[in-house]
Amino acid sequence: MNRFTNIFTILICLLAMTACQKEIPFTGEVAKRKLVLNGPFSPDSTWNLHLSHSLSIADTGHPRSVTTGVLRIKDAAGQLLFTLDHDSAGFYSHATEKPQVGKTYIVEAEATGYEMITGTDKAPAPIVVSLVDSMHTTFLSGKVLSIDLLLSDPADKDNYYVLEAEAAVYDSNGVIVDFISPLYSYSLDPNLDVEGLGDETSSYQRIYIKDEKFQGQNYPVNVMVSVSYLEYLLSEPYSEGASAEIFFHIRTVSKGLYQYLKSYDKYQNYSSDPTFSQPVQVYSNMKKGFGIFGGYSESVMTFSY
215-226 pLDDT, tens digit per residue, is 999 999 999 999
Taking CA atoms, 138 is separated from 135, 143, 144, 301, in Å, by 10, 4, 5, 21
| 119 close to 36: Cβ distance less than 8 angstroms | no
pLDDT of residue 135 exceeding 90: yes
| 166 close to 185: Cβ distance less than 8 angstroms | no
Q: Region 259-279: what's the mean pLDDT?
A: 76
pLDDT at 16: 52
| 42 close to 298: Cβ distance less than 8 angstroms | yes
**pLDDT one-digit tens code per residue, 143-177:** 999 999 999 999 989 999 999 999 999 998 999 99
pLDDT of residue 25 exceeding 60: no
pLDDT of residue 274 exceeding 70: no
Query: Which region among 42-56, 65-79, 284-298 has the lowest average model confidence (pLDDT)?
Result: 42-56
Q: Region 251-278: what's the mean pLDDT?
A: 82
> Which has more confidence, 204 or 120?
120
Plot region of 194 (φ>0 → left; ψ -120 to 50 → alpha; else → beta): alpha
| 281 close to 26: Cβ distance less than 8 angstroms | yes
| 300 close to 249: Cβ distance less than 8 angstroms | yes
Q: What is the pLDDT of the chain when averaged over all its residues?
A: 87
Nearest alpha carbon to residue 123 among 98, 95, 100: 100
* CA end-to-end distance (rounded Å), the chain: 26
Confidence of residue 11 (pLDDT cuts 50, 70, 90): low
| 23 close to 277: Cβ distance less than 8 angstroms | no
Q: Evaluate whether 3-124+278-295 and 128-251 have a shared fold.
A: yes
Q: Region 104-115: what's the mean pLDDT?
A: 97
Q: What is the architecture of the domain spanning 128-251?
A: Sandwich (2.60)
- CB count within 10 Å of CB 230 equals 22
Confidence of residue 26 (pLDDT cuts 50, 70, 90): very low
Q: Could you tell me which residues are beta bridge partners of residue 85?
A: 93
| 154 close to 192: Cβ distance less than 8 angstroms | no
Domain definitions of the chain by residue range: 3-124+278-295, 128-251
pLDDT at 24: 43
Plot region of 250 (φ>0 → left; ψ -120 to 50 → alpha; else → beta): beta
pLDDT of residue 22 exceeding 70: no
Q: Which residues are CB-contacts of 7 (< 8 A; sequence separation ≥ 6)?
A: 166, 181
Select the CATH number that applies to the domain covering 3-124+278-295 from these four: 1.10.4160, 3.40.50, 2.60.40, 1.10.357.
Answer: 2.60.40
Q: What is the pTM of this model?
A: 0.87
pLDDT of residue 273 exceeding 90: no
d(CA 100, CA 74): 13
User: 262-301 burial, b for 16+ CB within 10 Å, e for fewer?
Assistant: bbbbbbbbeeeeeeeeeebebbbbbeebbbbbbbbbbbee
**pLDDT one-digit tens code per residue, 231-254:** 988 887 767 889 999 999 999 999
pLDDT at 27: 47
